Structure 1
Amino acid sequence: MAFEVGIQRGNLTSLAISISPHCQCSQSPLPAKRLKLAPAKIKLQSRLINASSHGVFRVPKRILPNHRVIMAVARAEPDSFGEGRSKEEADKGQYILEKEDKHSEVQDKASQLKKRVLFGLLIGISVGGIVLAGGWVFTIGVAAAVFAGSREYFELVRSRGIASGMTPPPRYVSRVCSVICALMPIWTLYFGHIDSSVTSAAFVVAIALLVQRGNPRFAQLSSAMFGLFYCGYLPCFWVKLRCSLAVPALNTEIGRFWPVLLGGQTHWTVGLVATLICVSSIIAADTCAFIGGKAFGRTPLTNISPKKTWEGAVIGLAGCVATSFILSKIFCWPKSLFSSVAFGFLNFFGSLFGDLIESMIKRDAGVKDSGSLIPGHGGILDRVDSYIFTGALAYSFVGTFKPLFGV
């Protein structure tokens, strides 16, 4: 007896696997068996049952990328599916298939890690160049990130997980809010302040919600206002930190050797040095917390983000403070030990708080990532969540607290 297994050609939404027996002898029906096909990246497991005529089995479309043509004809002797096959052979075949599956999973994880590292390096180099350039280059970069992040935020608000408990803003209001958020950093650089623009933007959005058709809801107003604050107002403090604190950091050793064509020593301002220390501290905090949590994490930090642990948070704090202290010695700013350590503490808690806020939004939305803009990293909010609140805290420390108390 032989069986023919055919997977039909065509642009189909599913595959039909038909089994037709070819036998000239009378024999008792064969028992049901499980056949597992795992070619390349396609994993197919179906229960093949011998019938008097034929059986049809449906396979979801998602396992066939690009509708590739697959034709397979399998022929087996009766003892392959009958009682002649020993239990040891079946166990050995199952072991081989499980081993191949594990090998494939390891390869997928390695590929994902390689992609994550590659794009992480590209983002790091690009952000470093933008921070060094400052001025309009830095502001336009912040505005682009703000626009992408605000779009992701309002998509999360419209997701099924959040929208089931509240009424999201209309799409035209969400788009207007995204544009307003992108203009806020530019307004901050040009005028030096942001307060009046935020008030005006909130007034415009409130009017747009009140005059909409249907019954306006308070949930629409609250989510839109938080979007303006979270995605627009808070990132503007990075522009104030980098561009408005233009006092030269004359004690910076690197500034003495900086090329004149790139601004010379006057290019190294307090705002630039503070921004570099702040960004580097956040990167160190995230990296140390991730590695420490993987190696020593045992105690969950909060239910908002189950993967975060107290052990990872403590190691992240140590890495953040250490980075702030080391860079303060390299840049000769801030001069006092207390200021550098306090700056590191402030950066860590700002980054942790921003990360938890974004995790809370994603958890309510029922999604793992805020988007898919960056391969291997998710959305833009997944990458900048640690920076959203930190910019305001860093500017307050450098621009107000430190000069006021002389630390």
Structure 2
Amino acid sequence: MAGSQSDDEKGTAQRVKDFAYEKTPEKFKNASDFQIRLRTGTVYVIICIASILAGDVPTMLFLAATAGICSAEFFYMLRSDAKMPNEWIGVVGAAYLPIAAFFFGLRGIVAGALLLMLALTLWYVFWSRARMQDVGVSLFGALYTGMQMACIMLVRTAFPGTDGGLLVLLLFASIWANDAFAYLVGRKFGKHKLAPRTSPNKSWEGFFGGLAGGVAVWFLVGQIPSVHIDPLQTFVLGAACGLAGVLGDLCESRIKRSVGFKDSGTMMPGHGGLFDRCDSLMTTATAAFVLLVLFGCINPVL
């Protein structure tokens, strides 16, 4: 009886797939990898732009959801490496940090990180199967995704009106430009491997091409009325963010290779998981926030 029910369910699922395929326009059938990647990337860009320009609250919700999903993908990968992270505490903690940044600024992030550490400490003390390495993975995953997404929230709320949104969009655009230029230059001229063991497809030629593209975008920051920054600081900001983005990309590549994963997930066809798409964004956001504070563009208050 159970086997028959299972066969019926499979048959129903197949009929649904066949019906959906028949109703799909011809130009969308049998799409190439590039077409799939382009369509998925377009949807992602539209969601990013719409959320950020809609205001602080939509930005907060977008960042919280992104942090939660990225941390969940991180924990899923680490479980295959004989780790047992506490996904519930980690995902909730990661998603909470951008929310805390919106409501309470840096104080909220500090308090959120301390609450996260307290929750994991209680879990470790009262659940005998928890190991210290599991606590470390849970804490790192939540902070790596959530705290760095919270930096974007701090940048968004640091400037009035749409200026904060424009600055965050330029942050995103610099990463997209870096990726695009790195891909195009690396494909055309790439001969020298950047990190053959960690990410064999990256080249030094693509690295410098991507860095130039990202720096070019950052020079638009000076055109935002509320952001007072000189050209030299803009160049330093662009170069540092470009380097940070590459570091984030290589860090995620190292994580995936260490646990035997090609992609962090399947949420974004053609790209892998959301963590794959946001690896450079996280470290770039942290570098941008720190430098904007050092340059006096942002005055964070605890």
TM, length-normalised to structure 1: 0.62
In the TM superposition, residue 132 of structure 1 has moved relative to its aligned partner by: 1.1
C-alpha separation between the residues in 1 aligned to 2:279 and 2:73?
A: 12
Q: One-letter code of the match for 1:397?
A: L
Aligned residue number for residue 296 of structure 2: 402
Q: Tell me the SS of whatever aligns to 2:173.
A: helix
The corresponding residue for 2:117 is: 202
The answer to whether residue 125 in structure 2 is matched with residue 182 in structure 1 is no
Q: Secondary structure at the match of 2:200?
A: coil
Post-superposition shift, 1:316? 0.7
Higher relative contact order (CA 8 A, sep 6+): 2
Q: Are the aligned partners of 2:37 and 2:269 in contact in 1 as well (CA < 8 Å)?
A: yes
Helix, strand or coil at the partner of 1:278: helix
Q: Pairwise mapping of residues 366-377 of structure 1 onto structure 2 (< 5 A)? A: 366-377=260-271
Residue 311 of structure 1 and its aligned partner are, at CA, apart by 0.8
C-alpha separation in 2, matches of 1:268 and 1:66: 47
- Please list, as runs of the form range in 1=range in 2, the aligned pairs for 1:218-367 lying within 5 A after superposition: 218-243=132-157, 245-247=158-160, 267-269=161-163, 271-302=164-195, 303-325=197-219, 327-328=220-221, 330-331=223-224, 333-367=227-261
* Superposed CA offset, 1:218-273 (max 9, x none): 21121112112112222111111111x134xxxxxxxxxxxxxxxxxxx233x333
Structure 2 unaligned runs (5+)?
5-12, 16-28
Q: What's the CA shift for 1:375?
A: 1.8
2:193 alignment partner, SS class: coil
Instruction: Give the distance between the partners of 2:294 and 2:265, measured in 1 at CA.
Output: 36
Distance 1:347 1:146 in 2: 20
1:144 has 2:65 as partner: yes
1:330 Cα offset (Å): 4.6
- Name the CA distance, whole Å, in 2 between partners of 1:310 and 1:224: 34
DSSP-derived class of the 2:143 partner: helix
User: C-alpha deviations, 1:271-296, integer Å up to 9, x for none?
Assistant: 33321221111110111011111111
Structure with the higher strand share, 1 or 2: 1
Q: For 1:400 and 1:369, locate their aligned partners in 2 and report how far apart those are by CA, in whole Å.
A: 35
Larger Rg: 1
Question: d(CA) in 2 for partners of 1:152 and 1:175?
Answer: 13
Q: Are the aligned partners of 2:90 and 2:138 in contact in 1 as well (CA < 8 Å)?
A: yes
Superposition deviation, residue 329 in structure 1: 5.7
> Contact conserved, 1:320 with 1:348, CA < 8 A, in 2?
yes
TM-superposition CA deviations, 1:141-200 (whole Å, max 9, x none): 0011111111101001101xx22xxx433xxx2122111211221122111221121011
How far, CA to CA, are the matches of 1:139 and 1:352 in structure 2? 25
- Alpha-carbon distance in structure 2 between the residues aligned to 1:279 and 1:180: 24
The equivalent residue for 1:84 is: none
> Which amino acid counterpart does residue 105 of structure 2 have in structure 1?
G
Q: 1:206 and 1:224 mapped to 2: Cα distance?
A: 11
Is the aligned partner of 1:154 residue 2:69? Answer: no
Unmatched 5+ stretches in structure 1 = 1-10, 12-64, 68-106, 248-266
